[in-house]
Structure 1
Amino acid sequence: MVASGSNRSALTDERGEFALRGLPSGTYHLDLVRIGYASAHQVVTVASSGSDVRVSIVMHVATVRLSSVNVTATPTGSDPLDVTQATVQLGGKELQRALSTSIGQTLSKEPGMAARFNGPMASTPVIRGLTGERVLVLQDGERTGDLSSAAADHMNAVDPSSAERIEVIRGPASLLYGNNALGGVVNVISNDIPTSIPTKASGYLLGQGESATPGGVGGVGLTLPLGSQFALTARGGLRDFTDTRVGGGAKQLNTSGSTQNFTVGGGYVGTKLSLGGVYRQMNFEYGLPYDAGDDHDHDHDGEEDHEEGHGHGRVRIDGLRRVGSLQGTLNTGVTALPTIKVDQTVQSYRHSEIEESGEVGTRFNLSTQTTNITARTRFGRAAGALGVQGIFRQYAPVGEEAFTPAADNRNLAAFVFQEFPITRNPDADHAPRLQLGARYDRFTIETNPGAEAERFGAPRTRNFDNMAGSIGLSVPVAEGVSLSANASRGFRAPAVEELYADGFHAAVGTYDVGNPDLKAEQSTGLEAGLRAQSSRVFAQFNGYYNRIDGYITPVALATPVVVDGEAVPSVTFAGRDAVLAGVEGQVESKLVHHFVGGLMGDYTRASIRGSDDVLPYIPAGRLGASLRYDNGRVSLGGDVRRVFAQDRVTGDELDVATDAYTLLDLNASWLFTLAGRQVHSVTLRLDNALDEQYRDATSRIKRFAYNPGRNIALVYKVLY
């Protein structure tokens, strides 16, 4: 159960009862979620007298995909029908049908989304053609503090198997998150800090095995109440797999990997004050696909001989991410300012790139500290939030192959968001709503070249100031149907790699030369959409136009650079005005008896304004259809997606055209309950059933590496 407006969640006991203590007076949207059931929604008003409020909610078996609360899209939380941007939530059966080795692959089937494939571990989300520094990945609302946005061979240091659900904003989200959110936001929600106290111990067990990335995943979680106001959480997981099998049965060597993660958290929930904290740690190790050259034969097993090769060879990445987070919420008792939430996160991330010889080529060290203070507001009919944010990063690459200087970032920001119901009843559910927001950012980057001053120059400082804003309108047109539109203005400051690089970038096989005169990207986004959901239909259609002034893109230089005796392409970076426009849609409907059918599609067109040039690595258009039998307990079905050829490419050595292909996925699931409380879910999947050999247009290594082939996956999860 999730209470939007407070970002609080609770688990029911075996009788379906729950309690949320210490809520200030006001109006809340309760959303209840249970695997196999339609999410239930109810508006509840907590009186200023402080008396208890009791509610009774009936849930029904569901076979059509339905979304519940989306707390990522607005600072107060909101029902999807009231959100003015395209959102998606993946949880329950939908999450288990999609669960993969990375966040990017897990989300890649969703409309408007793809994955920047660089092996099974380093596969990060692409939203409407944007990725890297333009897509922000969060865990429980906090930046992940890794280096996945900096290079294609760096992974998101969050295991998707730890997620209770994943929320996505498709489109600019600079208002709430500032830098790095021009394309959208992905929030992996684990609820590691308890915000309510369960009546008894609860948790989960998870097991998963796959054949395309042969190996398995094991996970366990526990939430333990300590009295009526304290609770502890503990989670742990292991993942281990060998080299990926691509279409046709060949192996992509050096793509094995493993992760180990654990989490310990605790929380106090009082009437006036709630406090909580969590410690997370993730160890990871994986290999990078590489170009073995075209002059090697396949062996008798259909596997390529990769003993010799060009490029960066058999590189392995070995790393560690540590996170400590504290948060507190104060119920003020003041109507105009009912709650103030403060959170502080400290992260330490490092990884080493280990050469085939066993030597460490480069060590990357990143420390990140974030501070957020957010206050919910209520002024007459307007409800919203205001806040201040601080993000501080210290980045230090060390080694002969480090191609950027060390650098420190500071981002200080303040924002305000207000939602106005356009109705005489301000608490009416799904009334027309106007959403307004503004944000100011001050972003600073300082280089610390140290002993590398001869190569990278003297220390330099750049400041970027920006004012962002948004306006959105949501209008219900029928029961469970709403129209929305929004306009937004955002920015992205250049990264240290784009400003000050000077060296060989092994992830993409180029020698990069930074441009210290780059300006910040300025985005103007327009979007309109329709959303509908009921017990029989779920649908969402959106059209968007995103104009980015000063879009930073690599530009090939005329003269290659010799690295270790081999000539490699050299690039610099330039800011050019770009336009990304497209459409995306999805509909799922109950047909006859227990059969559910669906359609999906998306298309993005991206160009440099005023020229014939295109943006690189843009996903190809897709059309798909699905059909399944689903009685709420047993589900059998599949989906097929036709991905069209992508020939709108730059045509350089890396961004090459890709052919069309068809993917057929089949799945079966069984949901059952034991002992009146344990919910067991078993999912069997056959991904890429036709064993198609294909390359994604978004992949940085598509010139020489294929995506995974036929995959048999078994996922088992028990909630208790």
Structure 2
Amino acid sequence: MKRLLCLAVAAASIPVSAEDRTLEHVLVSVPIHRQESNSVLPVTVITSEELQRSVATTIGETLENRAGLANSSFGPGVGRPVIRGQQGPRAITLQNNTSSADVSSFSPDHAVTVEPLLAKSIEVLRGPSTLLYGGGAIGGIVNVIDNRIPRERIEGIEGAAEYRYDYAPDLNSGVGVLEAGFGNLAFHLSGTSRSTSDLRIPGRAIDEAALAEQEEMMGHDEEHEGEDHEGEEHGEEEINNSKGKIANTDTDTDVITAGFSFHFDEKGSYAGFAVNNLNNKYGIPPGAHEHGHEEEHGEHEGEEHEGEDHEEEEHEGEEHEGEDHEGEEEEEEIVRIDMDQTRYDAMVHLYEPMDSIEVVRGFLTYTDYEHKELEGSEVGTRFKRDTWETRLEVVHNALLGTEGVVGLQAKSDTFEAVGEEGFIPKTDSTELGLFLIEDFHRNEWTYEAGLRGEYVERDPSTNAASNEDFTNWSASLSALWQFDDNWQTGVSLARSARAPSTEELFSNVDAMDPEELVTHAATGIIEVGDPDLDNETSLNADLALQWHSANSWAELSVFYNQFNDYIFLRNSGEEVDETAVYDYLQEDAKFYGVEFESSFHLTDLGPGALALDLRGDAIRGDFKDNGDVPRLPPVRVGARLSWTGDAFGTWVSVLNAGDQDRPGDFETDTDGYTRLDLGADYRFSFAQERELLVFIKWKNITDEEIRLSTSFLRNYAPEAGQSVAAGIRFSF
């Protein structure tokens, strides 16, 4: 707690400049609030201009240095967002207000299918957002917004083309956007193609000392004392603990999107349709599938490196630097993901259709998702998910002294894991939610009250488990006080509920005896669901203080979240064929923390302005009976000094992350680090609104070894080493 109270500044490499802040972003995720300053919810916005300079290849890496946000990587091909310590099924990712409809919440090796390189902006609601987006948003939402269905009229032809290169991952990335408008019609066409090689890192990929410590904590040394496995089984087996690179981490991604919209009137009403296809191929770092990964967030009882055979294979033998997965033994260790998703979106916005209605927004999405887990050249498991989702929101003007939104959300999906290693039965899910949020304005005060009712049904195609249904209620109360022209404070109280997910209920439910349990190949553990799991509920309190002036701003938030029947994956202590068995269980837990974010205009210097950004966050999580919650971010503090002129800008940032010495039971500590980055960009402006942006960054200048405490592979796959990234973007 002392470290939380001492927190003063924040870690960030992506700023919101004072100039950007004065041109306040109009929120898309929250229909009742037009701007950030009107919302009691903690909101983080990354604008289009920021994304041009700072976007990364995954959504987790793009957000990782903002207050309250972190990245959960599974090698460079996967980066899932972490919101206030919550990830997986509690931190959902949206694409234009409907879910990404992938299977990233099912397992940490599954990538999120949104494409940050094509985003116009990203909005993050921290804290429970269940009133708007359902139980899956019990920790928060990330809404990636693009212009696949043009929201405004377009006159003539406009677009952009970009190329960027990054040394550490050997990234080659190209992005193109073309938009055109003719009268009431507007069209959009965009695409990106990128590839990377095995990620360059400082030192060796596998932290052998941490793994040895973990084995000792789990008592494997005592358990196998006197057994002579070394010479018999492990002496001739070797694993590639590579130096300078992480093997099997290359990626290849292609995305193409086409859409159009028809604009009805001068008020801004429109309707449109878009289709998007994403193909993503990436490798799983060695060791992840061979030894298993750390379990899903909240899984605090042990690690999955139980097999002494595997442990010895990891640590014995020489390192095969630079070898590309040679030999029969190593060929068997290679696991790759081949992902394909086609998404269809329809959208309608009607502004002021009648006197008392401000806007009606409708969304309809169909998503066809599939990915194959390839073990060498063989398909081990095929994950498939077909999803229909619709949202209807009606925002009314002042009515009986209030204004607000009433909405309906419906979702239907079919999920299955097919193949010899399929461990989840085909399951049909139906989710239906009704919500109402009302605003009351009284002088300097704004009050908000909301209610949501939700029905969830999971219907597995198996005789081993019956149909399960859940009814949830969520509610919130909040108040915002503008007690000065530059100061405001807000408090929010929420009760949120989440139904168990498909994998939590039905993983390996068909197994009649232990020998029939199926291993998830990419993660190397056996996961066993429980059809008797109950709803997970949370009570959340959030207190915020905000200061804004013409060119500077600062925000401080403190939060507390008490979970009842928190669902997590626990090491059962049993093994089947030397593979650890994990069970989904429920236990009470609490999370609390503090976040600070700011930008200060220091002075006008020459033809530009000098600004200092300070940010930071800290979070603690405790189970009622089993100690610390694992995989939480450490205390982070940092600063960024920037000078921005009309054409040229430059910046330097420093980020300090403390040791994560509360890793949870049977987990290893994660060392802290200090990361230094700097960059510059220059804009060339031409006639007819044409512009050329050239940018360069020197990242991780000191070549620091960075292992994220939030990562399931922190002992196998560190983050990128020193790197230079550069790019060029032409807009017209």
TM-score normalised to structure 1 length = 0.85
SS in 2 for 1:158: coil
Q: Distance in 2 between matches of 1:163 and 1:480?
A: 31
| 2:581 is equivalent to residue 570 of structure 1 | yes
Q: Which amino acid aligns with 2:663?
A: V
Q: Distance in 2 between matches of 1:37 and 1:501?
A: 43
Change (3 A) 1:434 1:264: same
491, 494, 519: which one aligns with 1:504: 519
Q: Say which structure, 1 or 2, has more relative contact order (CA 8 Å, 6+ apart).
A: 2
Report how far residue 171 of structure 1 moved: 1.0
Matched with 2:534 is: 519
Moved more, 87-96 or 132-141: 87-96
Report how far residue 153 of structure 1 moved: 0.6
Deviations 1:574-630 (A, max 9, x none): 111110000011122111333211221111000013x35121211111111121222
RMSD: 2.3
Alpha carbons 1:323, 1:345 under 8 Å: kept: yes
Matched with 2:691 is: 679
420, 437, 442: which one aligns with 1:417: 437
Q: Distance in 1 between matches of 2:321 and 2:145?
A: 45
Alpha carbons 1:481, 1:532 under 8 Å: kept: yes
Change (3 A) 1:310 1:705: farther
Alpha carbons 2:409, 2:434 under 8 Å: kept: yes
Matched with 1:648 is: 662
Q: Distance in 2 between matches of 1:311 and 1:558?
A: 30
| 2:54 is equivalent to residue 115 of structure 1 | no
| 2:389 is equivalent to residue 370 of structure 1 | yes
- Would you identify which runs of 4 or more consecutive aligned residues in structure 1 move more than 6 Å? 35-38, 303-306, 308-312
Matched with 1:280 is: 276
Report how far residue 490 of structure 1 moved: 1.1
Report how far residue 312 of structure 1 moved: 7.6
Q: Which amino acid aligns with 1:251?
A: K
Q: Distance in 2 between matches of 1:274 and 1:257?
A: 38
| 2:107 is equivalent to residue 151 of structure 1 | yes
Report how far residue 63 of structure 1 moved: 5.4
SS in 2 for 1:401: coil
Matched with 1:313 is: 333
Report how far residue 422 of structure 1 moved: 1.3
Report how far residue 284 of structure 1 moved: 1.2
Report how far residue 694 of structure 1 moved: 2.1
Matched with 2:118 is: 162
| 2:346 is equivalent to residue 339 of structure 1 | no
Alpha carbons 1:206, 1:715 under 8 Å: kept: yes
304, 315, 325: which one aligns with 1:294: 315
| 2:465 is equivalent to residue 469 of structure 1 | no
Deviations 1:299-345 (A, max 9, x none): 566x8977577998211111211111112234564222343332211
Alpha carbons 1:213, 1:245 under 8 Å: kept: yes
Q: Distance in 1 between matches of 2:156 and 2:412?
A: 39
Report how far residue 246 of structure 1 moved: 1.5
Q: Distance in 1 between matches of 2:245 and 2:348?
A: 49
Matched with 1:625 is: 639
Report how far residue 80 of structure 1 moved: 1.2
Q: Distance in 1 between matches of 2:437 and 2:567?
A: 29
Matched with 2:378 is: 359
Alpha carbons 1:290, 1:312 under 8 Å: kept: no
Deviations 1:50-69 (A, max 9, x none): xxxxxxxxxxxx65766723
Alpha carbons 2:67, 2:595 under 8 Å: kept: yes
Change (3 A) 1:230 1:37: farther
Q: Distance in 1 between matches of 2:579 and 2:195?
A: 34
Matched with 1:186 is: 142
Deviations 1:126-181 (A, max 9, x none): 01110000001011111111111111111011121101111111111000000210
Q: Distance in 1 between matches of 2:613 and 2:351?
A: 44
| 2:457 is equivalent to residue 444 of structure 1 | yes
Moved more, 284-293 or 266-275: 266-275
Change (3 A) 1:304 1:666: farther
Q: How does 1:206-285 map to 2 (within 5 A)?
A: 206-227=162-183, 229-248=184-203, 250-271=244-265, 274-285=270-281
Q: Which amino acid aligns with 1:344?
A: L
Q: Which amino acid aligns with 1:315?
A: V
SS in 1 for 2:52: helix
Change (3 A) 1:681 1:85: same
Q: How does 1:632-711 map to 2 (within 5 A)?
A: 632-652=646-666, 655-711=667-723
Q: Distance in 1 between matches of 2:54 and 2:546?
A: 22
Change (3 A) 1:685 1:507: same
Deviations 1:176-217 (A, max 9, x none): 000210111101111211122122211221221111110211
SS in 2 for 1:247: strand
The structure whose residues are more often helix, as a share, is 2
Change (3 A) 1:66 1:383: same
153, 156, 159: which one aligns with 1:200: 156
Report how far residue 36 of structure 1 moved: 12
Q: Distance in 2 between matches of 1:154 and 1:696?
A: 18
Q: Which amino acid aligns with 1:603?
A: A
Q: Distance in 2 between matches of 1:109 and 1:354?
A: 33
Change (3 A) 1:636 1:300: same
SS in 2 for 1:186: strand
Matched with 1:428 is: none
Change (3 A) 1:383 1:535: same
Alpha carbons 1:489, 1:524 under 8 Å: kept: yes
Q: Distance in 2 between matches of 1:351 and 1:518?
A: 28
SS in 1 for 2:573: coil
Q: Which amino acid aligns with 1:371?
A: T
Matched with 1:548 is: 563
Q: Distance in 2 between matches of 1:651 and 1:294?
A: 23
SS in 2 for 1:124: strand
Q: Which amino acid aligns with 1:382?
A: T
| 2:499 is equivalent to residue 493 of structure 1 | yes
Q: How does 1:41-60 map to 2 (within 5 A)?
A: none
Q: Which amino acid aligns with 2:420?
A: E
Report how far residue 380 of structure 1 moved: 4.2
Matched with 1:478 is: 484
Deviations 1:394-413 (A, max 9, x none): 00110111121111110011
Q: Distance in 1 between matches of 2:16 and 2:459?
A: 52
SS in 2 for 1:518: coil
Moved more, 206-215 or 86-95: 86-95
Matched with 1:98 is: 54
Alpha carbons 1:633, 1:671 under 8 Å: kept: yes
In structure 2, runs of 5+ residues without a counterpart are 1-13, 204-242, 291-313, 509-517
SS in 1 for 2:137: coil
Alpha carbons 1:418, 1:435 under 8 Å: kept: yes
| 2:587 is equivalent to residue 587 of structure 1 | no
Q: Distance in 2 between matches of 1:340 and 1:79?
A: 18
Q: Distance in 2 between matches of 1:692 and 1:308?
A: 34
Q: Distance in 1 between matches of 2:553 and 2:58?
A: 26
Alpha carbons 1:63, 1:630 under 8 Å: kept: no
426, 432, 445: which one aligns with 1:432: 445
Q: Which amino acid aligns with 2:490?
A: S
SS in 2 for 1:569: strand
Alpha carbons 2:627, 2:664 under 8 Å: kept: yes
Change (3 A) 1:300 1:194: closer
